[in-house]
């Protein structure tokens, strides 16, 4: 019989089974969350209990959330290679260097497979999930969206929403699932996000964002951060960004990630909003000068190691976006420049993916969901086109497995 995974609130609390959490019978992942009832609350005080496991760790042959699992901390099994530990723990002082190199949250791109791959390229980078709406977690109970492996740490959960109480609950879910940071999206310009009253449109309502941040900070011990733009529509003066930043600091924000473009909410698509509004790095630099204690991370249009190093002379951290996805080996190059890590051979990175890929295939994951993130690994190298073509043409087939990856690796080798 499936075991209970999560219970939350109300007079008739909803009990979610391991199946509802997306946990297979093989027990490949489990939530690591136990919930306890506070006396005298009439069922409304059921809250996650900390310390029972760390995140959605990989298990061996035990369904997630069962009583036997929850009696002892969950142990994460490494797939291969170096395992990264969480940088921050509750009660530790925030370290500015924790945000020196980060990879942006990108919808449809930075899923758990992508993050695992990126971790092999960069042991130090802080990784971010795709945006997850608070409504999906709290009202939709789609807790499978919190799934991640221990090897991803340090990893942050990005939330979208504008209701303080709901965001607080969602943040608690994320912290109890083991995420090292909860980030609030105040930068996405898409129509779908605007209709839900979150994303970049919230820059017009700094007081509301402040209330959201305060509620989230009260609910969790991990850092609560904000990702925003330098402006939105005609609200484009530096004074507006300054006021927004002051409000965030008053709410307790210690880390602000700033995309150095403003957002046009009408007339431009999300893609155009990443390209057409001009970059204004100086505005972000000024923000850092005027708020020296705030950890400022700059994002937008950063594509080379030299640009990363130049920005780090002016701000605390750099967030790579599309460059890290389309040309992921840049992560290894930046890692070498900033931390002195030896750059791994591209072939070796793929070979280190093998245990992960085979474990996911055994779990029922289609190869195409993993291989799509690997396509840019040989960007600019001889044989890159053949590598991409081999993966693209074969990964969707029902019998696609590790052998396809080996065949794709052979393309650059032949070309070289």
Catalytic (active-site) positions: 188
Which residues have a Cβ under 8 Å from the Cβ of 69 and sit 6 or more positions away? 3, 27, 30, 53, 59, 62, 63
Tell me the C-alpha distance between 44 and 42, whole Å: 6
Rg (CA), the chain: 21
Which residues have a Cβ under 8 Å from the Cβ of 257 and sit 6 or more positions away? 99, 102, 183, 225, 226, 227, 228, 297, 299, 317, 319
Bridge partners of residue 151, in order along the sequence: none
Within 13 Å and on the Cβ side, how many CA atoms surround 222?
A: 26
Tell me the C-alpha distance between 198 and 190, whole Å: 10
Contacts 24+ apart (CB under 8 A), 330-333: 330/303, 330/304, 330/305, 331/103, 331/118, 331/121, 331/122, 331/125, 332/121, 332/122, 333/305
CB distance 146 to 177 below 8 Å: yes
Token pair listed for 339: 């931390």
CB distance 69 to 23 below 8 Å: no
Residue 229 DSSP symbol: E
CB distance 285 to 294 below 8 Å: no
């Amino acid at each position: 019989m499936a075991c209970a995974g999560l219970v939350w609130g109300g007079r008739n609390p909803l009990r979610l089974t391991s199946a509802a959490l997306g946990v297979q019978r093989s027990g490949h992942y489990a939530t690591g969350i136990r919930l306890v009832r506070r006396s005298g609350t009439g069922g409304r005080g059921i809250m996650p209990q900390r310390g029972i496991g760390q995140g959605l760790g990989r298990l061996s042959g035990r369904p997630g959330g069962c009583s036997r699992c929850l009696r002892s901390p969950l142990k994460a099994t490494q797939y291969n290679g170096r395992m990264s530990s969480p940088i921050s723990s509750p009660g530790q002082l925030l370290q500015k260097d924790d945000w020196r190199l980060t990879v942006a949250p990108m919808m449809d791109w930075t899923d758990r497979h992508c993050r695992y791959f990126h971790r092999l390229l960069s042991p130090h980078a802080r990784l971010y999930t795709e945006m997850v709406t608070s409504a999906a977690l709290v009202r939709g109970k789609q807790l499978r969206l919190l799934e991640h492996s221990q090897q991803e740490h340090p990893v942050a959960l990005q939330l979208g929403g504008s209701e303080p109480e709901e965001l607080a609950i969602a943040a608690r879910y994320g912290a109890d699932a083991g995420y090292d940071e909860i980030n609030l999206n105040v930068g996405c310009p898409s129509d779908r996000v605007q209709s839900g009253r979150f994303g970049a449109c919230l820059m017009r309502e700094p007081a509301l964002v402040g209330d959201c941040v305060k509620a989230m900070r009260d609910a969790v011990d991990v850092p609560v951060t904000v990702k925003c733009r330098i402006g939105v529509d005609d609200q484009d003066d530096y004074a507006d960004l300054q006021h927004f930043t002051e409000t965030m600091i008053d709410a307790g924000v210690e880390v602000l990630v700033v995309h150095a473009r403003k957002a046009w909410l009408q007339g431009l698509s999300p893609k155009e909003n990443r390209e057409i509004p001009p970059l204004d790095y100086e505005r972000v630099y000024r923000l850092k000068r005027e708020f020296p204690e705030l950890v400022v991370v700059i994002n937008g249009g950063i594509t080379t190691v030299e640009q990363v190093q130049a920005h780090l002379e002016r701000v605390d951290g750099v967030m790579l976006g599309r460059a890290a996805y389309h040309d992921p080996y840049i992560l290894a190059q930046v890692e070498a420049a900033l931390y002195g890590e030896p750059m791994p051979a591209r072939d070796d990175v793929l070979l280190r993916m093998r245990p992960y890929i085979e474990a996911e295939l055994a779990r029922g994951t289609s190869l195409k969901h993993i291989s799509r993130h690997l396509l840019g690994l040989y960007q600019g190298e001889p044989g890159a086109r053949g590598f991409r073509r081999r993966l693209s043409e074969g990964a969707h087939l029902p019998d696609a497995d590790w052998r396809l990856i080996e065949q794709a690796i052979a393309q650059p080798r032949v070309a070289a």
